[in-house]
A and B are shown apart, each in its own frame.
Chain A
């Protein structure tokens, strides 16, 4: 009986604390549906007296969130495709072929984890300028794809090394070459790993701030949602409800993907810490 009481109290505490925990999101969405006047006076009450969708219309059209949204989508998709493809290929070579120099590649990959790459933003910016790619969307994608994908490479390598050799031998007897085995036989079985890498990279790139901020300094047209949001706040200081609508637009896709894939995602991370 007492354990049931304590369990009940735990639930109560968790629900209360959890509500406070996610309240900023509730506040954000509800504010985006209020008028500026009721926003200032309504306090904690999250229920808008009437749904004011025009805040979204204003953010989308007037504050150019439609443009930012498109940029975010293009940059995120481009980065996800590049990063996942490269890590998949590297992971396959490392996991299945014992080529000369394999240990060196593994050592370098491992060492990259410890190299603090945070301060490379200045040379990266200069490099993009030199290549004529600063203030282009391709430059942002390329810069976003840089950095260590150690985690993904290791995930792929571990997965591919566990595929039984018999499968590959059977495919060779059937006359498959290296590429055909990779694309037709082994890659299709790697869907869970591909999905994990895609989701994680999607969330990282979608949330990225420093690289798109620096690389689009002179071209506001190319801003992503996160960067556009910042300039929006500067420009329309008093339009809080428009800001809340913009924030909701920015967070919606990433929260949607997370909720859709949350089991995959949390498990993927837990697995990688081991």
Chain B
């Protein structure tokens, strides 16, 4: 075979490979354009219309919906509740996930895989079902009240889900219980990335376990900690299943979050749906989540950079 002929054959082969590659990615691209990109663009478009979802969409109102949202007390209530939930949920689940991970990372602890599985179990279950079960457990004649009365902590049943403050606390606790397992796994990954030599060196230097935790483990976990914070914050701002099934936003809208607010106006309003208005809230929620991701993402990058520098320092010390 002459060289030119062989080249042509190779070219033909490469071209065929390219064509096959395009055929392989085509379905995913179509799905992305139709079911991700198009909806994202459309939610912006809807937000400029006064539209009920029925009939033609021809009532362009400019920024009216945005004005309406920002002057609506109920929106700010949902906005506040979302942040209260997120703050409580992130604090509790990230801390308890870390504590569990520190305990269950000990290679000397027998049966740690069994324990990990135990604490991971709520993660794989259905959030909506958990909400319904917990609604019963925290109900007036529910398990929690029965136990508290049995051991004599309270005399009368407490109305956990009927009081605005305790309803939010229950929501946060149940949410944290459901998700702590996955956060524990994230932390375990971080713990396993810490070089074993560091611990050995600290042991030789005679550091106690608290000192090791304070000066080695926690600082080295900081970068992945920031990532965990980002993931949990962003996902908890979109809480829906749990609120819908556990409290349905009640009592008196005291646990209504933004996603529930959107759902109420888009799909569950008595009377007519307000797709335009609901889309506006959706866009604002999306923007808020986006800004928070950017801020936290910046922290993640900075911490990783610092870690890179530290690594460099230790490397140089070795030399």
| Residues on A facing B (Cβ under 8 Å) | 7, 10-11, 14, 18, 21-22, 24-25, 27-28, 40, 43-44, 85-87, 89-90, 92-94, 97, 99-100, 102, 105, 108, 112, 114-127, 142-143, 145-149, 153, 178-179, 203, 206-207, 209-210, 213-214, 217, 225-227, 229-230, 233, 240, 243-244, 247, 250-251, 254-255, 258-259, 262-263, 265-266, 269-270, 273-274
Query: In the assembled complex, which residues on chain B have CB atoms less than 8 Å from the CB atom of A247?
Result: 129, 132-133
Nearest-Cβ distance from residue B281 to partner chain A, whole angstroms: 8
**0/1 per residue, B12-40, Cβ < 8 Å to A?**
00001110111011011101101110111
Which of B20, B133, B143 interacts with A97 by CB under 8 Å?
B20
Check B143 against A44 for contact (C-beta < 8 Å): yes
Q: Which of B66-74, B161-169, B186-194, B210-218 contacts A (4 or more CB under 8 A)?
A: B186-194
How many B residues are at the interface, by size bracket?
Answer: 35 or more
Q: Contacts A118-B285, A247-B133, A274-B189 hold; do A27 and B143 have CB atoms under 8 A apart?
A: yes
Query: In the assembled complex, which residues on chain A have CB atoms less than 8 Å from the CB atom of B126?
Result: 206-207, 209, 225-226, 250-251, 254
Query: In the assembled complex, which residues on chain B have CB atoms less than 8 Å from the CB atom of A265?
Result: 124
Which of A44, A121, A229 interacts with B129 by CB under 8 Å?
A229
Give A94 to B18 CA distance when docked, in angstroms. 11
Check A243 against B136 for contact (C-beta < 8 Å): yes
- Which residue among B130, B132, B137, B147 has the maximum number of chain A CB atoms within 10 Å of its CB? B132
Check B36 against A122 for contact (C-beta < 8 Å): no
Check A99 against B143 for contact (C-beta < 8 Å): no
Check B24 against A92 for contact (C-beta < 8 Å): yes
Check A207 against B127 for contact (C-beta < 8 Å): yes
Nearest-Cβ distance from residue B254 to partner chain A, whole angstroms: 20
Check B275 against A7 for contact (C-beta < 8 Å): no
**0/1 per residue, B296-316, Cβ < 8 Å to A?**
010000000000000000000
Give A108 to B40 CA distance when docked, in angstroms. 14
Check A18 against B25 for contact (C-beta < 8 Å): no
> B58 interface residue, CB < 8 Å from A?
no
Query: In the assembled complex, which residues on chain B have CB atoms less than 8 Å from the CB atom of A250?
Result: 126, 129
11 further A-B contacts with Cβ under 8 Å, apart from A18-B118, A119-B279, A273-B186, are A14-B115, A118-B285, A118-B289, A126-B53, A147-B36, A225-B126, A233-B135, A251-B126, A262-B120, A263-B113, A269-B185
Which of B27, B133, B275, B289 interacts with A86 by CB under 8 Å?
B27
Check A123 against B20 for contact (C-beta < 8 Å): no
Nearest-Cβ distance from residue B147 to partner chain A, whole angstroms: 6
